[in-house]
Chain A
Amino acid sequence: MELTTVWFALIAILWIGYFVLEGFDFGVGMLLPVLGRSEKERRVLINTIGPVWDGNEVWLLVAGGATFAAFPEWYATLFSGFYLPLLLILLALIVRGLAFEYRAKREDDTWRARWDAAIFIGSLLPALLWGVAFANIVHGVPIDANKEYVGGFFNLLSPYAIAGGLTTLLLFLTHGAVFISLKTDGPIRKEARKLGLRLGVAAAAVTVVFLTWTQIDTGSVSSAIAFVAAALALVGGLAALVAGREGWAFLGTFVAIALGVAGLFLALFPDVMPTTLANGLSLTTTNAAATPYTLKIMTVVAVIFTPLVLLYQGWTYWVFRQRIAVHHIPDPTAADSTGPVHVP
């Protein structure tokens, strides 16, 4: 296989990693005002993702960095072209990240309410905008012969792109609700299960519409297979949720998102950013790529270190596997200090 194809696949994997992981922590953030009625309930929700959200977000940084290294033209056209949506995403991620760290640092209702709003909006905007962005990438945007995006901001908000945004939004909400049902105990767990089912049905409907639309628009045989498998995984996940099997349900939404994103990349291949202009230039895995030498070095690094990352990140999830309930949350006075520790 060509190294450019390998890197196209690796970048797809990085985005998949980002969406399946940060997808549920976006979902938790968006469900904060819905499922977290009391302060302690809100803290239960936040603490389900507390130790892991930052590691999840690194998948985005690595996806960005890897695109820069492996497909510099793609990185340049994409991020200068989708300028304002990307700026919104960055601002959202900034306030959201700080909110997790800072909200418990002061005992003040206004302070916490503000950070809660930051978590909600900071999760909602990227969950919506990443879908919009990916729909645009797959469908194609006006790119001129100099590889510059020339479409402006509102061109990015086509009905198809909005459908993409709603798909990621609803999928992440469902994924988050299922994750909460898996990671909490008590009334929240039950409510999350109920809500996850309702959200899941809506997500399934929108997802089927969006994926069918994509398949008709730019699909290939392989993308069709991935999309069908994604839909089945989602339905299977929801069935598991009905049966009260939260672990299987989470696996279902996890695999559904992974295969859905994989399908988008398969529909995209061998383009990385197709143009909609007759005299424009589509960016492809070959004309946007770095040199074989750079790709070779990057491949060696990726082959050695990606498994290592998966190993220790997986270990974190194992260490913090315990379900959290309201009685696990320490009192506010102790919130900013450290509780019992092991002694040497």
Chain B
Amino acid sequence: MDLDPLDIARWQFAIVTVYHFWFVPITIGLTAIVAGYETAWVRSGNTKWLRLTRFFGKLLLINFAIGVVTGIVQEFQFGMNWSDYSRFVGDVFGAPLAIEGLLAFFLESTFLGLWIFGWDRLSPRLHVACMWTVHVGTLLSAYFILAANSWMQHPVGFAFNPDTGRAELNDFAAVMFNKVQLVTFPHTVLAAYMTAGAFVVGVAFWQMVRGAKNDDDRSMYRGAVRTGAVIVLFSGLGVALSGDVQGKVMTEVQPMKMAAAEALYDTEKSADFSLLTIGTLDGSAEKFAIKLPGMLSFLATGNTNSEVVGINELREQYTKTYGQDPGQAYYSAGDYTPVIPLTYWTFRMMIGLGLAAAAAAGWILWATRRSRTPQGRLILWAAITLPFTPILANSAGWIFTEMGRQPWAVFGLMTTEQAVSPGVSATEMLISLIALTSVYAVLAVVEVRLLLTYIRRGADEVTDANLPSDDEHDPDRPLAFAY
């Protein structure tokens, strides 16, 4: 079989990026939640908040580590597998990446180190400030990397230079405040809060009904369950609202992506949104569907009666604007058309799983009102599966937004086929794909088992041995924390 380096490079990018983004949202959200618990402890002196800080802090660190190390690959694989992309976009795309490193990565890594090892070196206020600083670092990181991605979705603030054959930056502010970025950033970060909130609910709920040794423990975990659930609900609402705006912006800048989200082939007025469709694999003929009338028009434009342009018409438009699809030899789907079943189903997965998470969180919040501890099996399962729903919704959302842009790597400027490294052989890429995938698979097993161990162990008691020490200047005192 002839292996195409492009296929391998795409699989690698998809695998390592989706994998990386299983851990990133939990990190973004959980740094804020842990900082919140620690702030509550510093303000109230109530040790239950300290116990939650330490408990979720440990889970955060296990998760953070894997996000950090998989992030290294993200930084370098543009040059390794996508060198022509790097040459073409470096002048625009490189800057946010470099700034992300300088502003965000240093902040996160340094202040996390201070937080982990600094329990006995820093005053409580300074210590909690370290975790807030880490959180700010995660937000900065998200902002710059999403600005880079938004530029790929909707290139602005540049001019194509025929002499150098590349896109050249001429308006940095336009890139930073790209209209796609302004809605993608809240959407992604709120989804991260939702993910971390769901993680907290799942973990704390299990401890509340299965692990807690006494009423104090139960009440402590209930507090965590409820804070988590409130975060899921509020951020979930934000995710829905920002997603709605994002859909409209996307209809404007990448109409094909939104037509592909519904597999809408022919232009329609008052277009319906289908909850599910059974049809041919290319989606061009449907056999059975459940539909919400006018909903697609509403999602795309805010008006149930307006017209939504279909794939067939968009093909003609795109061909008129950009010429023959340079990617058509590669994409069997046809001119400028992404893989429709994939965009159709990932779009529904994203929305459906997000709604399911919010519904479960609402139920759990209601069931734990006035110090109740629900004992049903069903609600326990709802809580345990809750952390996975936003994680999968995140993955689906990214697969949708990246696959929906195909055949473009940079919309309207460069196809994915043109982006790949011409000098790297299929063998080299295959070695890389196999090595990274195997290492990542092993690490996933290690990480999940470690998380489960620490989740089962529950929050440590606060005892005299680990609460205040008067001899803090004794140089022979053991370290508060050691690897």
Contact = CB atoms under 8 A, between A and B. Distances in A.
A190 interface: no
Contacts of A343: 45, 124, 467-468
Interface string A83-116: 1101100110111011011111110000000000
Nearest to A40: B482
Interface in B6-62: 41-43, 45, 50, 54, 58, 61-62
Contacts of A61: 71-72, 75, 101, 105
Interface stretch (B238-246, B338-346, B368-376, B473-481): B473-481
Given A43-B482, A322-B475, 19 more contacts: A50-B116, A51-B113, A52-B113, A55-B106, A64-B75, A64-B76, A72-B87, A75-B78, A77-B83, A94-B73, A97-B65, A101-B64, A146-B422, A291-B91, A328-B482, A338-B480, A338-B481, A340-B466, A340-B469
B460 interface: yes
26 contacts: A55-B110, A58-B105, A62-B102, A64-B76, A65-B100, A65-B102, A75-B78, A79-B76, A83-B432, A95-B69, A106-B453, A148-B422, A290-B169, A297-B169, A312-B106, A316-B114, A327-B476, A329-B479, A329-B482, A338-B466, A338-B480, A339-B465, A339-B478, A340-B469, A342-B122, A344-B42
Contacts of B188: none
Contact of B90 (A86, A146, A290): A290
Interface string A34-52: 0000000001001100111
> Which of B95, B97, B116 counts the most A-chain CB atoms under 10 A from its CB?
B95
Interface in A162-202: none
B142 to A, nearest CB: 15
Contacts of A98: 65-66, 69, 443, 446
Contacts of A324: 479
A242 to B, nearest CB: 27
A302 interface: yes
A335 to B, nearest CB: 6
Contacts of A290: 90-91, 94, 169
A150 B423 contact: yes
A312 B110 CA distance: 8
Contacts of A43: 482-483
B472 interface: yes
A51 B114 contact: yes
B68 interface: yes
B289 interface: no
Contacts of A91: 435-436, 439
Contact of A341 (B66, B98, B166, B466): B466
Contacts of A339: 119-120, 465-466, 478-481
A62 B101 contact: yes
Contact of A320 (B121, B422, B475, B477): B121
Interface in B219-251: none
Given A72-B94, A76-B83, A79-B83, A65 B75 contact: yes
Nearest to B57: A338
Contact of B41 (A51, A330, A336, A344): A344
Contacts, number: 304
B275 interface: no
Contacts of A312: 106-107, 110-111
B119 A340 contact: yes
Nearest to A103: B483
**A-side binding surface: helix, strand, loop or mixed?**
helix
A341 B481 CA distance: 10
A248 interface: no
Interface in B165-202: 166, 168-170, 172
A167 to B, nearest CB: 23
B316 interface: no
Interface in B82-136: 83-84, 86-87, 89-95, 97-103, 105-107, 109-114, 116-125, 127
Contact of B94 (A46, A69, A81, A329): A69
> Which of B64, B105, B469 counts the most A-chain CB atoms under 10 A from its CB?
B105
Interface string A210-233: 000000000000000000000000
A329 B75 contact: no
Given A68-B86, A106-B453, A342 B446 contact: no
Nearest to A75: B79
A155 interface: no
A75 B109 contact: no
A293 interface: yes
B314 to A, nearest CB: 32
A338 to B, nearest CB: 5
Contact of A330 (B76, B424, B479): B479
A313 B478 contact: no
A305 B103 contact: yes
Contacts of B443: 94, 98
A297 to B, nearest CB: 5
B483 A100 contact: yes
A319 interface: yes
A10 to B, nearest CB: 10
Contacts of A147: 87
B421 interface: yes
Interface string A293-331: 110011001100110010011001001101010011110
